[in-house]
Chain A
Amino acid sequence: GAVVSQHPSWVICKSGTSVKIECRSLDFQATTMFWYRQFPKQSLMLMATSNEGSKATYEQGVEKDKFLINHASLTLSTLTVTSAHPEDSSFYICSARDRGVTSYEQYFGPGTRLTVT
């Protein structure tokens, strides 16, 4: 099956620094990628939808200047958490839509655990 990878799998950073998380589709091309955030013991909440070559669409309440998303190629989307604070500590999961098959195919990455100290 299709594989989506995320890097890093976990990261610890100091408050005020920026962190970049990569999401890659390894064996398919993804026109659309999604970024989710999951706080401990909570559900996945969609943060933004990323389309290759265009600006990301952010969900209500998500600060676009804080969570920068770049989808520069059909296999890579990046999420940069700028000026991270402890409240940004969370589990970030990306998913990718395979443009080559029917509309229901979407694959999730393994997640990136961010801890801001």
Chain B
Amino acid sequence: AQKVTQAQTEISVVEKEDVTLDCVYETRDTTYYLFWYKQPPSGELVFLIRRNSFDEQNEISGRYSWNFQKSTSSFNFTITASQVVDSAVYFCALRPNTGGFKTIFGAGTRLFVKA
């Protein structure tokens, strides 16, 4: 089965706190891509990162960092020193190499950052 699980439905933090959004995926494909998207209230998906299954290097981009661990099938996302503008819904997604290029989304985690 191809599946993405984001167990955290909502997270609320105070500005400047660090927060980690969890993502666990399932796939039988050996080649696949993982993504994180941000969806602000406007609704438009904002692409944050893409990672292929052969690249387990962690990545940092400004206040954002991602931890990819194939051993636990996890692709977690950390925001350091959160800001109010980070408030949004964050989706983790999986695109297996087979299956016609379909992208499977997790349920999303709604992040509230309070001033």
Q: Which A positions have Cβ atoms within 8 angstroms of B?
A: 32, 34, 41-46, 49, 57, 91, 93, 95, 97, 103-104, 106, 108, 110-111, 113
Chain A's closest residue to B95 (CB) is A104
Distance between Cα atoms of A34 and B102 in the complex (Å): 8
Would you give the shortest CB distance from B37 to chain A, in whole angstroms? 8
Beta-carbon contact of B103 and A95 below 8 Å: yes
Beta-carbon contact of B44 and A110 below 8 Å: yes
Contacting residues, chain A, for B107 (C-beta < 8 A) = 42-43
Distance between Cα atoms of A32 and B99 in the complex (Å): 13
| CB 8 Å contact bits of B71-111 with A (1 = contact, 0 = none) | 00000000000000000000100010100111111111010
Would you give the shortest CB distance from B43 to chain A, in whole angstroms? 5
Besides A32-B101, A93-B43, 20 other A-B contacts (C-beta < 8 A): A42-B108, A43-B91, A43-B106, A43-B107, A44-B91, A44-B105, A45-B105, A49-B100, A49-B102, A95-B103, A97-B101, A103-B97, A103-B101, A108-B44, A108-B45, A108-B47, A110-B43, A111-B44, A111-B45, A113-B43
Contacting residues, chain A, for B101 (C-beta < 8 A) = 32, 49, 97, 103, 106
Q: A43-B106, A46-B103, A104-B52 are in contact. Are A93 and B33 (CB under 8 A)?
A: no
Contacting residues, chain A, for B63 (C-beta < 8 A) = none
Would you give the shortest CB distance from A17 to chain B, in whole angstroms? 23
Q: Which B positions have Cβ atoms within 8 angstroms of A?
A: 33, 37, 42-45, 47, 50, 52, 91, 95, 97, 100-108, 110
* Chain A interface SS verdict (over half): strand
Distance between Cα atoms of A46 and B101 in the complex (Å): 11
Q: List 11 A-B contacts (CB under 8 A).
A: A41-B110, A42-B107, A43-B91, A49-B102, A93-B45, A95-B103, A97-B101, A104-B50, A108-B44, A108-B45, A113-B43
Distance between Cα atoms of A93 and B50 in the complex (Å): 19
Would you give the shortest CB distance from B40 to chain A, in whole angstroms? 11
Distance between Cα atoms of A103 and B99 in the complex (Å): 13
Chain B's closest residue to A113 (CB) is B43
Would you give the shortest CB distance from B91 to chain A, in whole angstroms? 7
